[in-house]
Chains A and B, each alone.
Chain A
Amino acid sequence: MPDQFDTLFADLRAKTLPEVRPPGPAAARGTVRRRRTTRTVVAASTVLAVAGTLTAVGLPTQRETADERLDRLTAAAQKAVDEKGTAVGVGVIGSASPDSTERYPNLSPGTYTLTVVCGSSGTLTMKATLTAAAGSTDLGGQVASCSAEPVAAQMEVQTPVDGELTVALHADRAAGGAAYVMMLTRKPEPWGVPVAPESTWNADRAAQILSSGGGRPVGMTTERPGKPTTQRVGAAGEYRFRMVCAGPGSVTVTVAGPVVNPLRPHEATLLSETVACTDVDPQPALVGVGLEKDTEVTVKVTADEQAHNKAGFAYVVEPA
């Protein structure tokens, strides 16, 4: 017979589950890959240190080892990255095969540079894909020539929304087994500027318009694409979003519920709406959405070029 603790623990479980935010299997892959890379780099450094010592004491050394070659490839990639003046990124070391994949989960919107240096001979073709809530987008490709004197191949990719960047690598027969080093670096963000007073002013203005209709409006500035805010609703039912955008251009508003299955985050998107911004006398736009009990929704706003860091947005969630 179930005792009172069955109920208590069942309640604890039911109320805690919606609050759990799984980092996701992709994040676990990233961790495991980084740990392996770190181990490889440590091993390579140890080998180089030993080789250096042997040379210093005049003992005979072998020709370039695999680890030394990796170190040279890493140096070439780092040099190319430094020349681009990009920020610190993530490096991976791999062995070229006809079909391999590198993944970079949880990338925020921005412009990234993929740098690949491949040793040995042949070619290594890379194709980049962004997987986001709305689906997958092909971001183009690049061919790297593998050579004993490695030259870095670089491609720039733009990720307009949060997502996972997948780089599929295809080595031709000549490049099979060749070592490669890939680095992903982020370009300085054009929106990495402080929020403009105009955007703050417009966000306040938009919130003020909504406050006259009741509720507690949330104001959002537009200096960063996909900037999130969250709201929680207690009871299940039909809700409406009252939204105002003040200023130039337009913004795209995305409302998403909690991600129950991290493998299918796109299922959590409840609505995506473009709201035109108006400088003079902006008016609220209304959108309805059905929400379940105790739901936390994430509202993200991405401004277009005209609205970027100028327009201000505000919204209110209220029962319909």
Chain B
Amino acid sequence: MTANPASFDELYAAHYSDLTVQLYAYFGDRQEAQDVVQEAFCRALARWRAVSRYDDPVGWVRRVAWNLAVSGWRRRRTALNFLRRQRASEDQIDGPGPERVALVAALATLPATQRRAMVLHYLADMTIAEIAERENVAEGTVKSWLHRARAALAARLNAGTTTEEARNA
């Protein structure tokens, strides 16, 4: 148990955006990522007395968010969309730049396990051992996922660049 546990508000302020970016890279949809992360925080708040006593409350929120993401929670949701009603009216913003689109699109072509491993490794800064424990697989399996994912991403991103250059030529 931590000596001075963070309040819910502090935890939210410190981690909401980062978790959303991770889920965005996984889903390819920022809004979907925001909804999933908000739902995870709602679930943490509903049992905050217990969650706040954990050694790693943010780990709990992250796990719930990823479980919701993997289970397709949001897609199955049909009624009582409180989150939609709470969401402040979305301002019009520019779309993401071409590099970001290319990376997110390339990630979307990966198998879910490889995509998850890449996001957890590069965006959640998790070690191979931590990912292996989370996914309940051997470390060698995670290394293999990452290796294949890097190769596939590199090929796809390079192919995209070549096509772009050819178009500009």
By a beta-carbon cutoff of 8 Å, the part of chain A in contact with chain B is 3-6, 8-9, 11-13, 15-17, 19-25, 27-32, 34-35, 105-106, 228, 230, 232, 261-263, 296, 298
**A31 B82 Cβ-Cβ under 8 A:** yes
Contact B30 A27 (CB under 8 A): no
Q: What residues on B are CB-neighbors of A261 within 8 Å? A: 13
Contact at B93–A22, with CB atoms within 8 Å?
no
Q: Do the beta carbons of B93 and A106 come within 8 Å of each other?
A: no
Q: Are B86 and A232 in contact (CB under 8 A)?
A: no
Interchain residue pairs A-B with the least CB separation, the first 9: A9-B122, A27-B86, A230-B91, A25-B12, A20-B17, A22-B16, A25-B9, A20-B20, A16-B21
Out of A34, A106, A296, name the residue touching B88 (CB < 8 Å).
A106
**Is there an interface contact between B45 and A23, defined as CB atoms closer than 8 Å?**
no
Q: Which residues of chain B in 91-137 are interfacial with respect to chain A, using CB atoms and an 8 Å cutoff?
A: 91-94, 96-97, 99-100, 103-104, 118, 122-123
Nearest B-chain residue to A24, judged by Cβ:
B12
Q: Which chain A residues border B25 with CB–CB below 8 Å? A: 9, 12
Are the C-beta atoms of B17 and A17 separated by less than 8 Å?
Answer: yes
Closest B residue by C-beta to A36? B46
The closest CB in chain A to the CB of B17 belongs to: A20
- Contact residues in B for A24 (Cβ distance below 8 Å): 12
How many whole Å from B76's CB to the nearest CB in chain A? Answer: 17
Q: Is the CB of B153 within 8 A of A5?
A: yes
Ordered by A's residue number, 13 sampled pairs between the chains whose C-beta atoms are within 8 Å are: A12-B100, A13-B123, A17-B21, A19-B93, A20-B20, A21-B34, A22-B20, A23-B34, A25-B12, A25-B41, A28-B45, A30-B86, A261-B13
- Cα A317 to Cα B93 in complex, Å, equals 16
- In chain B, positions 37-63 with a C-beta closer than 8 Å to chain A are 38, 41-42, 45-46
In the bound complex, residues from chain A placing their C-beta under 8 Å from that of B12 are: 22, 24-25, 28, 262
| A23→B87 contact, CB < 8 A | yes
A16 engages B100 (CB within 8 Å)? yes
Residue of A nearest to B7 (CB): A25
Contact A34 B82 (CB under 8 A): yes
Q: How far is the CA of A28 from the CA of B24 in the complex (A)?
A: 20
B122 contacts A6, CB within 8 Å? yes
B window 1-20: CB within 8 A of A:
8-9, 12-13, 16-18, 20
For residue B71, CB closer than 8 A to chain A, the reply is no
Encoded as 1 (CB less than 8 Å from any A CB) or 0, chain B from 63 to 100 comes to: 00000000000000000001100111111111011011
Q: Say which residue of B24, B45, B92 sits within 8 Å of A32 (CB atoms).
A: B45
Asked whether, in the complex, the Cβ of B96 is within 8 Å of the Cβ of A28, the reply is: no
B150 on the A face (CB < 8 A): yes
Alpha-carbon distance A23/B90, docked complex (angstroms): 11
Considering the chains assembled together, what is the distance between the CA atoms of A21 and B86 in angstroms?
12
Smallest CB–CB gap between B40 and chain A, Å? 10
How many angstroms between the C-alpha atoms of A34 and B42 in the bound complex? 11
Whether the Cβ atoms of A12 and B17 lie closer than 8 Å is no
Out of B41, B46, B86, which one reaches A35, CB within 8 Å? B46
Q: Are A23 and B86 in contact (CB under 8 A)?
A: yes
Specify which of A28, A106, A262 is in contact with B42 (CB 8 Å cutoff): A28
Contact B34 A13 (CB under 8 A): no
A296 interface neighbour in B21, B89, B91, B100, Cβ under 8 Å:
B91
Q: Known: A12-B104, A19-B30. Is A29-B45 also a contact (CB below 8 A)?
A: yes
Minimal Cβ-Cβ distance residue in A for B46: A32
Residues of B within 8 A of A17 (CB): 17-18, 21
Which single residue of chain A is at the shortest CB-CB distance from B88? A106
Q: How far is the CA of A217 from the CA of B38 in the complex (A)?
A: 36
Cβ contact within 8 Å between A230 and B38 = no
CB distance from A300 to the nearest CB of B (A): 11
Does B9 contact A105, Cβ atoms closer than 8 Å? Answer: no
CA–CA, A11 to B103, complex, Å? 10
User: Which partner residue on chain A sits nearest B38 by CB separation?
Assistant: A23
Assess whether B13 is in contact with A228, with CB atoms less than 8 Å apart: no
**Cα–Cα, bound, A3→B38 (Å):** 32
Complex-state Cα separation, A15 to B99, whole angstroms: 10
B122:A5 contact, CB within 8 angstroms: yes
Does B89 contact A16, Cβ atoms closer than 8 Å?
no
**In the complex, what residue of chain A is closest to B25 when comparing beta carbons?**
A12
Residues of chain B contacted by A27 (CB below 8 angstroms): 38, 83, 86-87
Residue of A nearest to B91 (CB): A230
